[in-house]
Structure 1
Amino acid sequence: MPIVDAVVDCPVHDSFRVQAVAGMFDVAVGERTSRQFAVEVPSLDQSWQVGAIVGESGSGKSTVARAAFGKQLVRTARWPKQAALVDGFPKRMTAREVVHALTSVGLSSPPIWCRPYHVLSTGEKFRADLARAIVGRRPVVAFDEYSSVVDRQTAKFGSLALRKGIDRGQIAGRFVAVTCHQDILPWLRPDWVLDMNRGELTWRCLRRPQLDLRIHAASRDAWPLFAPHHYLDGQLNPCARCFVGTLDGQPAALVAVLNHFHVRRFRISRLVTLPTFQGVGIGSAMLDGVARWLAEQGAELITISGSHPAIVAHANRSNHWQFTQLLKTGRKPSGMFRQAWKTSAGRAVATFRWRGANVA
């Protein structure tokens, strides 16, 4: 493995205060000050996908990352103020490619995609910056100050979403997190960790933390928390039955169910995951959990129709769901849908049917 030998060197600007401080603490002041870091860093010839450089502030993380990865080291991107988030990506990318990049890091809410970067929450900005970094066609992306400005829950779930995207092949290239926070390591599961506090490189295989998702019936009063993040219009049918999934007691996702013109036939009408928990499979687990429960209660038919790429991808991958129909232009308003309800008219919609929890 190569040894990275990095030196931080800068002149000392002499002044009365500098001499005063030097005299107070008996510090020798020269014309220049320098600090050297010599550590092992894995080469690109070795087999690894994700790495991490961790350490306290001032331990030399950024210096070593810059020496090891050069122009591959990125920070927060510059975003246009007068444009939607999706328009802040390179012009060479198609809209489908931009959506793919955003969903791969767990930023899966279309309403957020259409807002300018500067109005997003800190957690949403964190994931947007990740998405911009991974589309740069770099063999390695070293992300400086990774998760430094977000709350720890967002950092953990964002790291888990990123790792899942890498494992599924949705994110190409290699990724190195440069961070002072070691709590993200079990969630990011790096193949190697360079601890700058000790100057030590270790290879490791961390086990992914288990998420304890609890699903329970809920009233319509839960809907306002989730409505702003649904990709349609935020309306909820008065006849809908709601189910909320919680993690550590906090609401994470909601599923709404309607009778499909028969007492034992059901349609999943709403599925929403809050931004903090997106990209880690919470929505998919909610969908399958509610469908499984409905089937145990005697449901003859359970369907879901939608166009969100994450839901379509999950249903296509899963043996528990069977593709039944694709409407390239959606469903035209008719009957009860002639009212104010927003339908799927004008957009492609795929329909899937629940096959059962025991299908291999």
Structure 2
Amino acid sequence: MSRLDLIRESPIIRTPRVMQLEGMFGLAAETRSREQWSVELPLSERPWNIGLIVGPSGCGKTTIARELFQDHFVDDFDWPSEKCIIDGFPQKMGIKEITSLLSSVGFSSPPGWLRPYHVLSNGEQFRVKMARALAELSELVVIDEFTSVVDRTIARTGSCAIAKTVRRRGQQLVAVSCHYDIIDWLNPDWIYQPALDDFQWRCERQPRPSISLRIVNVHRDAWHLFRKHHYLDASLHQAANCFVALVEEQPAAFTAVMYFPHPKSPSYREHRTVCLPDFQGVGIGNALSEYVASLYSCKHRYTSVTGHPAMIRHRARSPLWKMTRKPSTVQRQAGFEKHRKQIVASSRGRLTASFQYIGPSRQRDAQSFGLL
């Protein structure tokens, strides 16, 4: 049981302006301003991972949270001014652990990992800060102004990705926010509203709200929106066929496909897939990749080679993909044509895995895209 009886007082210096204000609004002449809260949070009654303190500005959220969880409150971190963000994480962490944690909170952009913290967008900084907090505070993490500096699309997707990570790591997070729109995405185990003095356990966690994607076949020029976020080079082959997933009519993810006209076993191969940082962490990139694969598998075998750790983990568990080569370093591989040699060369020296799509085909959708 966490009980708190809290009083905050501050002096009122009765200047001429203060006395004028008292007269204008009929306020009593006081020498002190006083606020008082009596809070009872039964947090020891049952196990939990995520809590949410939510309410309008001025209701006492931050004051209460700081008093209850003062040793676990996360303020700003010191980040290296010139070094990459990965150098801001604890020295005891290995690079695989750092990149895995960054990916799990929805910042899955290797080029972004190589930038200093101060040049990142607000959404990227929010996710990086969360990753570092989870890395440095092993048990309980308390974040004030949770999602307040990002737009609401990022707030929802970021909340979902962070919640999954906290639960997977067996940690605890208390989010302090004035935004109610994150509740279904954060899916907290308990909610406390100071404005109503109302505490509630949530007996059952609900599935996160669904995300509707509209997938369109686009010109290669659309790659310019995504190229800087891809973990390989920013090139795109001129023969690639390209698709974009839209979330509420905003571009979110990109997939490009190449055809390999082998005389005995022609196939299609995923050439590029990238999800914009604002939409990472909720499976949009994988959903687009698998949808496009289901279109092309109507015609020929569909394969993909990826070195991205998060995508390898997803596909290794997915019934839609069969791993045809375990993660390994490609030393030498002959291509069928000049453009294939260029693609294969980009995999040399990196740890990659090969997959074949074995999920259902969408023949009717493939016809509507003009692929059949």
Moved more, 251-260 or 74-83: 74-83
Residue 8 (structure 2) aligns with = 8
Q: Is the 8 A contact 2:49 2:170 kept in 1?
A: no
Query: Counterpart of 2:360?
Result: 357
Distance 1:314 1:327, change over 3 A: closer
Q: Report what 1:345 is aligned to.
A: 348
Match of 2:201 among 200, 203, 216: 203
**Structure-2 residue corresponding to 1:109:** 109
Q: Residue 332 of structure 1 contacts residue 343 of structure 1 at CA under 8 Å; is this kept in 2? A: no
SS at match of 1:251: strand
Of 93-102 and 332-341, more deviation after overlay is shown by: 332-341
* Paired amino acid for 1:236: L
Structure 2 residue aligned with 1:281, among 280, 283, 294?
Answer: 283
Secondary structure of the equivalent of 2:192?
Answer: strand
> Would the aligned equivalents of 1:323 and 1:351 in 2 still touch at CA under 8 Å?
yes
Look up the SS of the partner of 2:38 in the other structure.
strand
Shift of 1:93: 1.1
Aligned partner of residue 252 in structure 2, secondary structure:
strand
Q: Which residue of 2 aligns with 1:298?
A: 299
1:147 deviates by 0.8
1:192 correspondence with 2:193: no
Bigger drift between 2-11 and 23-32 goes to: 23-32
TM alignment of 1:200-349, pairs within 5 A: 200-204=198-202, 205-262=205-262, 264-295=266-297, 297-299=298-300, 301-326=301-326, 328-332=328-332, 336=338, 343-349=346-352
Measured in 1, the distance between the counterparts of 2:242 and 2:15 equals 68
What is the rounded CA distance, in whole Å, between the counterparts of 1:25 and 1:41 in structure 2? Answer: 37
TM-score (norm 1): 0.91
When residues 91 and 15 of structure 1 are mapped into structure 2, their CA distance, relative to the original with a 3 A threshold, is farther
Query: Unaligned regions of 5+ residues in structure 2, if any?
Result: 362-372
Contact map agreement 1:333 1:343 (CA 8 A) in 2: no
Q: Percent identity?
A: 42
Q: What CA distance in whole angstroms lies between the structure 2 residues aligned with 1:315 and 1:233?
A: 22
Q: Is the 8 A contact 1:332 1:344 kept in 2?
A: no
Deviation at 1:213?
A: 1.5
CA contact (8 A) 2:226 2:276 kept: yes
- Alignment check: 8 A CA contact 1:257 1:268 kept: yes
Q: Distance in 1 between matches of 2:103 and 2:124?
A: 12
Shift in alpha-carbon separation, 1:66–1:81, aligned structure 2, 3 A: same
CA deviation vs aligned residue, 1:19-62 (integer Å, no higher than 9, x gap): 44445444445554331111222424522211100011111001
Segments of 5+ residues of structure 1 without an aligned counterpart are none
**Is residue 100–residue 310 contact of structure 2 (8 Å, CA) maintained in 1?**
no
User: Cα deviations across residues 175-205 of structure 1 (Å, max 9, x unaligned)?
Assistant: 1110011111111111111112211012224
User: In 2, Cα distance between the equivalents of 1:42 and 1:357?
Assistant: 48
Deviations 1:87-113 (CA, angstroms, capped at 9, x unpaired): 111112111111111111100001111
Relative to structure 2, which stretch is displaced further, 156-165 or 43-52? 43-52
